[in-house]
Chain A
Amino acid sequence: MDNKIDRRQFLKLTGLGGVVFASGLSGWANAAKKTGQDEFHFVQLSDTHWGFNGAKANPDAANTLKKAVAAVNALEQAPDFVVFTGDLTHTTDDPKLRRARMAEFRDIVGKLKVKEVRFMPGEHDAALDRGEAYQEFFGKLNYTFDHKGVHFIVLDNVSDPGASLGAAQLEWLKQDLKQMRRDAPIVVLTHRPLFDLYPQWDWATRDGAAAIALLMPYKNVTVFYGHIHQEHHHQTGHITHHAAQSLIFPLPAAGSVPKRGPVPWDANQPYKGIGFRSVEADVKRIDYKIAELPVPKG
C-alpha cells in the first residue's frame, strides 16, 4: 500500500494522526499562545549543514543558521525546547575541520534563548568517524527524555555509514519500550526516515522496519525526522512520520528528477523551501499541531 499522503489529504486525517497544521507565522502565533501543564511546544530545526559552501544552492549559507536562531528567538512565545534532527554540520574528511565546524555550530546555536536544546547526528556529522567528534561536542548518539508526560526517543540511524540502527540499538529500544504503557504518548526523533521513503535516493534506514515493528504495538507514536530537506508526511499503520525542511537548501520531491541534488536558489524567491518547524503538543488529546515557518529573508 502506498501510504504517501499530501498536505491536503493529511488535513483530513487529523483523527488518525492527531495532527493539525498551521502555516506561516501568524498561524503559529495563535497556536502557541496556550500552554499549560498538559501542553507544550517545541521547535524542530534540521539539516543546517554548517560549513556547506555552494552559492548555486544557497549564496547566504554563512548566515542562514544565524537567521534561523534569530527567528526562533523572535517567536512570540519561547518554545519549551529546540531539537536539531541531524546534519548539524556539512561533512568533511578532515577531522580538525569537522570539529571546527561543530564548535562554530555550537557557538551559534548557543544564542538560542531557550531552556533546553536537544541534538542528534546526521550522516554528515557522524558517518565518517562513527560519531566520535559528534559525541565530544553534543553527547550521546541515542537517548531518551521525557517532557510533560511525553516520552521522547532519539534514534541514531547515521553513525553506521551503512545507515543501520543496528542490533544493539534495536535491543535498547525494545527494553526502553517495555517500560511504557501501550497508550503512552511517544515521540521518536531521528535523522533518516525509518520507512522506505525512496530507497533509490537512499531515503531509508536499512533496518528501520525493525524499529517500526517494535513501535507498532504502541498506540500513540509520532516520528519527527529530517534528511530529505523538505516537508513530508507519511503513515505506517497508525504511526505518523513528519519530515522537516532543511536550513540550507531544499531537495526535490522523491523521484521527481533523475538525480537527487539541491534545488537551485531562486533569487526572485530567496529562502524558498528553507525553514523550520514549530510543534504544539496537547498531551491530554495527544495532538500535535505543526507549523512550518520561514527563515526571514533580510
Chain B
Amino acid sequence: MRHVILRWPRNVAVLACVLAITATQALATDEPVIRITAKKFEYSLRTLTLKRGVPVVFELTAVDRAHGFNLPDFGVRSELLPGKLTRIRFTPDKTGEFVFFCDVFCGDGHEEMSGVLIVQD
C-alpha cells in the first residue's frame, strides 16, 4: 500500500513505499510540501499520516484529465486541472482517519478513487 508518514519535528521525513509524493521544504515557509498527483482512478498515495496541529502544504496536480480532491471532514476541496498546480495550506485540527476522494466524475472507476488521511497526536 502506498503510505506516507510525515514525522515531526523533522521538517521532512517521509516513509514512502512509492512515489510521486515527496515532502520537502516549502519555498516560502518551513511547512512541508505534500505532492500528490491524480490520474484515473487513483492518487499517487492512498494513505498519508500527519500530525495534529502541524501545517503542511498540499501540492496537487492532475495528470490525465480534471479530477477533484475533497477532504470533507476538514472542509477542504479543490478541482484539479491538468497542467495546473493547486496549492492548499492545511493544518489538521483533529485526530483520526479521514477519507479524501475525487469528487469530479472521471469515469468507470471514479468511485474507487480515494485515500485515507491519518492524523495523530
Contact = CB atoms under 8 A, between A and B. Distances in A.
Interface of A: 90-93, 123, 127-128, 158, 161-163, 199-202, 206, 259-261
B105 A123 contact: yes
Given A161-B66, A259-B114, A202 B103 contact: yes
A161 B72 contact: no
Contacts of B106: 161
A200 B111 contact: no
Contact of B105 (A90, A161, A259): A161
A142 to B, nearest CB: 18
Nearest to A260: B111
B99 A128 contact: no
24 contacts: A92-B107, A93-B108, A127-B105, A128-B107, A158-B105, A161-B66, A161-B104, A161-B105, A161-B106, A162-B79, A162-B104, A162-B105, A163-B103, A163-B105, A199-B70, A199-B72, A200-B72, A200-B73, A201-B99, A202-B70, A202-B101, A202-B103, A202-B111, A261-B111
A163 B72 CA distance: 15
B68 interface: yes
Nearest to B111: A260
Q: Which of B98, B105, B108 has the most CB of A within 10 A?
A: B105
Contacts of A123: 105
Nearest to B100: A200
Interface string B65-109: 010101011000001000000000000000000110101111110
Q: Which of B68, B73, B79, B103 has the most CB of A within 10 A?
A: B103
Contacts of A206: 103
Contacts of B66: 161
Interface in B104-121: 104-108, 110-112, 114
Nearest to B97: A258
A237 B73 CA distance: 23
A75 to B, nearest CB: 32
Nearest to A163: B103
A92 to B, nearest CB: 6
Nearest to A204: B72
Nearest to A122: B105
Contacts of A259: 112, 114
A206 B107 CA distance: 19
